[in-house]
Chain A
Amino acid sequence: MTATANRTTTGTSRPLSNEVVLSVRDLHVYYGTEAGDVKAVNGVSFDLRAGERLALVGESGSGKSTMATALMRMTRPPGRIVSGSIQLGERDLLQLTESEMRRARLAEIALVPQGAMNSLNPVIRIEKQIIDGIMDHVVEDSPVDGSNSESSDRMVTDEFGALNKKPTRTELREKIADLLTNVGLSPAVGRMYPPELSGGMKQRAVLAIATCLSPKVILADEPTSALDVVVQRQIMQTLGRLQSGIDAAVILVGHDMGLVAQFADTIGVMYAGRLVELGPVDQIFEDPQHPYTRLLIDSLPSFSEKKEFVGIPGMPPRLLNLPTGCAFFPRCPSAMDVCRDTDPLDIEIRTNWRAACHLHTEPESNG
């Protein structure tokens, strides 16, 4: 590994402002089944600060992708958002009307979907797919006439996600060329169809769409899961560059702890629909406070030492009819009696670092 490599694309040492852009409180998302509700997201709260890179990690079934779709308010039946709030800027996304939410998507909060390479329409040119997103934010009463004085201003969206004006053809062409250049593609790619592009190029095109209206929050759900490592690094670096360019915060959803260690500022570990630990990446990798986080980190192979493969014993719990107590209890190496029947509460370990585990509550309740 190159010792001289800089860390400009990775963010662990970047200072973060205290301005909160996204604030999720007690979010519950359930899937209705014949046997009852599956609590995929079961009371998640966190704050996302401006420019922060938060990674949500967990095994499959931990609720991380459900979180991502709920944040976009794109939960589909049988799933439903039961309660909670998602405060983005001044507004609670869960209180918006459907058309208001539609406008907020892409302009305020944009999604880079899982398997993004397959999320492009194969029979529509890349430029048209970018334009579609932009034009959807043109409001009927926007000044259509391009001759007034405001038309020379760059395209911006207001706080409701509506464009200030209808962009002209030239403006759109320039905008698309800019966007494609920003993600490392030639502007000529705009005229191409998705099947003409490699996986990495498609993913870059998706990033161009996601950032076209400079959203405050970019949600990336396993953005590189189907890509080769070399391309993966380039895409993550591009995402990092775009993010600092438009000063957006990023939520990276995934299970690749290597990617998380290299990209994120903050890591949120999900288990059975809950955020069991949330804190700064570098400190959590050094000294994880939740036993699950520790096992996750210990199970990772690396180049530094050859060690025995250590898995996490047992199975992820079924989310239907979760018993009381800590959901990780049956698999936990440090389980105690109290874990069996009492839900662990979030305990603040340090500023911006919390874990939900009785290992940290026990001494206080005794003394």
Chain B
Amino acid sequence: MANLLELQNVSKIFGGGFFNRSNVTIAVQDVGFAIPEDRPTITAIAGESGSGKTTLARLLLGVIPPTSGNVLYKGQDIQGMSSREWLDFRREVQPIFQDPFEAYNPFYTVDHVLQRPIRNFKLASSAQERNERIAESLQMVGLQPDETLGRYPHQLSGGQRQRVMVARALLLRPRIILADEPVSMVDASLRATILRSIRDLNRDFGISVIYITHDLTTAYQMCDNIIVMYRGTVAEAGSVEEVIQNPKHPYTQLLIDSVPQPDPKAAWGEEDDESVERIDEASVVIDQCKFAPRCKFAFEECTASAPPVRILGDNQLASCFLYPESPAVEDPDIGKFFHYPEFEPAETVN
């Protein structure tokens, strides 16, 4: 199975430098996973702020180079691409960012963000073809072209603006869409609509989606697989069914317990535990479990060395010392353990 986008033992370290070697931030540490070419899938990368999920997104987009390890696209290291390959990569891997307000220049109508990529990538030979493509992709995300085009960003609602961004990504017929917190700035009632339009891109057009989020409920609803990050390392990964319904890593358990469920009868975690509030950043060294200072199960081993990634289910991995008898993972690509649903295009497009 060929890989479309692949991370090989990628690490990213910020700060430091010649005079200040001690003051470094390890944003991403030794992460490896791959998106297969033939099975379009939706993968969530979840974690709190500071977990490294946005750094991972920027590494995947090639915006920043990894400190060590490689990011490969179709087997080719994206840092060593020719300009022709780089152009293809930038067309086929499309980002959707968090803030639909900042993605626009307020002096241009929204047509600008839609026409620009067509011109840059020379995707249309005439103005008419261009406009047809724009209208088509707007309709795919549930917007009416005549109500949307010609308007300025401030004349659209937040949900509309974000859907125009989804339409823009779609315009380029990408292979992968990388959505970094696409609905965190949008009202709860509009979230469902935007997430559905992103998910439909996967179902109907076979586009793989990487959904970066802190919200485990939408990740559960939308994704096939999930990677839970904690301070740059993979805490737990696997199919959403297994990870969310039966979390093995204490961090995943804490996260899931903390999500307020929209059901007054559901319990909301345990009683306040002040000990988990403050952790001393400096005290966490590289070669230990990053979660150990907050973990209620932590024992000596946890601060002595970094936990290996272990196989805990058919489609579930966790890096935790609590499961010494489970087999450790040899292959650095955790994507091999993911669950890939059969790809069947939906019958109708809503």
List A residues at the B interface (Cβ < 8 Å): 1-3, 5-10, 12, 59-60, 184, 198-201, 228-234, 236-238, 241, 255-263, 281-282, 285, 295-297, 299-304, 306-312, 315-316
Find out whether the CB atom of A301 lies under 8 angstroms from the CB atom of B218. yes
Q: In whole angstroms, what is the CA distance A7 to B222 when docked?
A: 30
Query: Chain A nearest CB: distance from B191 CB in Å?
Result: 8
A233 touches B192 (CB 8 A): no
B234 CB to nearest A CB, Å: 18
CB proximity of A303 to chain B, nearest CB, Å: 6
In the complex, are the beta carbons of B266 and A261 less than 8 A apart? yes
CB of B189 within 8 A of CB of A302, answer no
- Establish whether residues A233 and B260, one from each chain, have CB atoms under 8 Å apart when the complex forms: yes
Partner of B259, one of A8, A10, A258, A309: A258
Query: Contacting chain A: which of B16-24, B119-127, B270-278?
Result: B270-278
Q: Are A233 and B220 in contact (CB under 8 A)?
A: no
Chain A interface SS verdict (over half):
loop
Nearest-CB residue, chain A, relative to B157? A315
Q: How far apart sit A12 and B266, CA to CA, in the bound complex (Å)? A: 11
Contacts of A256 in B (CB 8 A): 188, 260
Chain B residues whose C-beta falls within 8 Å of the C-beta of A299 in the assembled complex: 188-189, 191-192
Having A10-B264, A201-B277, A233-B258, one finds 15 other A-B pairs with CB under 8 Å, namely A1-B267, A5-B270, A8-B271, A229-B214, A230-B276, A231-B277, A237-B272, A241-B272, A258-B261, A261-B262, A261-B263, A262-B261, A262-B266, A285-B262, A311-B192
- Chain A residues near B221: list those with CB within 8 A: 301, 306-307, 309
Interface residues on B, range: 35 or more
Which residue of chain B is the closest to A13 with respect to CB atoms?
Answer: B264
Query: Are A297 and B193 within 8 A (Cβ)?
Result: no
Given contacts A285-B264, A311-B193, contact A9 B187 (CB under 8 A): no
On whether the beta carbons of A230 and B263 are closer than 8 Å, the reply is: no
Chain B residue at smallest Cβ distance from A60: B187
Our pick among B48, B195, B262 for the contact of A297 (Cβ within 8 Å) is B262
Measuring CB to CB, which residues of chain B are less than 8 angstroms from any residue of chain A? 48-49, 157-158, 187-193, 195-196, 199, 214, 216-218, 220-222, 244-245, 254-274, 276-278
B187 x A303 contact (CB < 8 A): no
User: Closest CB-CB distance, B4 to chain A, in whole Å?
Assistant: 25
| Residue contact B255 to A229, C-beta cutoff 8 Å | yes
Number of A-B contacts (CB under 8 A): 159
Name B251's closest neighbour in chain A (CB-CB).
A230
A303 to B274, CA, bound (A): 26
- Complex contacts, A308 vs chain B, CB 8 Å: 196
Contacts of A310 in B (CB 8 A): 192
Q: CA–CA, A230 to B258, complex, Å?
A: 5
Name the distance in Å between B347's Cβ and chain A's nearest Cβ. Answer: 14
A314 vs B193: C-alpha distance in the bound complex, in angstroms? 11
CA–CA, A285 to B266, complex, Å?
12
Q: Are B48 and A234 in contact (CB under 8 A)?
A: no
Query: CB-CB < 8 A to A5: which residues of B?
Result: 257, 267-271
Chain B residue nearest to A6 (CB atoms) is B271
- A2 near B270: Cβ-Cβ < 8 Å: yes
Cross-chain contact of A262 among B191, B218, B244, B264 (Cβ < 8 A): B264
Give Cα distance in the complex from A9 to B273, angstroms: 12
On whether the beta carbons of A2 and B262 are closer than 8 Å, the reply is no
Nearest CB of chain A from residue B338's CB, rounded to whole Å: 17
* Interface contact A262-B278, CB-CB below 8 Å: no
Kindly list chain A residues whose C-beta atoms are within 8 Å of the C-beta of B261.
Answer: 1, 258, 261-262, 302-304
The answer to whether A303 and B244 touch across the interface, beta carbons within 8 angstroms, is: yes
- Tell me, in angstroms, the Cα distance from A300 to B264 when the chains sit together: 13
Q: Which residues of B contact A7 (CB under 8 A)?
A: 267-268
Q: Is B262 in contact with A229, judged by CB distance below 8 angstroms?
A: no
Q: A8-B271, A303-B244 are in contact. Are A60 and B263 (CB under 8 A)?
A: no
Contact in complex: A232, B258 (CB < 8 Å): yes
Residue in A3, A300, A306 whose Cβ sees the most chain B Cβ within 10 Å: A300
Determine the distance from Cα of A233 to Cα of B188 in the docked complex, in whole angstroms. Answer: 19
Bound CA span A148–B288, Å: 59
Complex Cα distance, B267 from A6, in Å, reads 7
Top 3 closest pairs, chain A to chain B, by CB: A311-B193, A258-B260, A5-B267
- Among B214, B270, B276, the most chain A Cβ lie within 10 Å of the Cβ of B270
Min CB distance A36 to B, Å, is: 18
The answer to whether A230 touches B274, judged by C-beta atoms less than 8 angstroms apart, is no
Which chain B residue lies CB-closest to A240?
B272
Contact B268 A312 (CB under 8 A): no
Could you list some 26 contacts between A and B, CB below 8 A? A1-B269, A2-B270, A9-B271, A60-B158, A199-B49, A201-B277, A228-B214, A229-B258, A231-B277, A233-B258, A256-B260, A261-B261, A261-B263, A261-B264, A262-B264, A285-B264, A295-B189, A297-B262, A299-B188, A299-B189, A302-B261, A303-B216, A303-B244, A310-B192, A311-B189, A315-B157
